[in-house]
Chains A and B, each alone.
Chain A
Amino acid sequence: RKEVEQDPGPFNVPEGATVAFNCTYSNSASQSFFWYRQDCRKEPKLLMSVYSSGNEDGRFTAQLNRASQYISLLIRDSKLSDSATYLCVVPGNNRKLIWGLGTSLAVNP
């Protein structure tokens, strides 16, 4: 099993839709998780941190399922500007971060 695994997509959704991505991780001892957003040809930017069961910020909700070892990102009322690649990150050993390959989202008018 890969350390961090994401469905690459692409997810194509209409404006206003609700979309959810999952990210599975292999290290059951992991305590914190992150979602980053990366626009085309740009650097990744931190979107949300998840330290306990979940986190909510406006239209974005991140949830953690420790039993099944996955985190999810839910986007409600999708906007065109939400089109990007969403990267899941899990801290590893020695201050390293383990990155998923990302899930591509395209929100269509």
Chain B
Amino acid sequence: KAGVTQTPRYLIKTRGQQVTLSCSPISGHRSVSWYQQTPGQGLQFLFEYFSETQRNKGNFPGRFSGRQFSNSRSEMNVSTLELGDSALYLCASSLWGAVVDTEAFFGQGTRLTVV
């Protein structure tokens, strides 16, 4: 069974550009969550999608957005990139992600560097 796949693995962008990251969850999983990991702020929750609807949102500016498709694949977009957006972006998927207790499986992340 394939795990959570994030593409690309590495990305270098210039300040002011925009970027789109992709996450393919484990087959059958309907919940996808995104996290930003930086040395200074640690792991911070960005947002969660469940059945194509954003269910939870972290405390990030509107430059950070996401969406989920009918096949549960998710994308996150960061517009007008800033140097501080350089981070490891992790995606996690789970079967339901609702009240039912299900484990979240993480991908290997996308390392974004903004120059």
The reply to whether chain A is a binding partner of chain B is: no
CB within 8 Å of B: which residues of A? Answer: none
User: B residues bordering A, Cβ < 8 Å?
Assistant: none
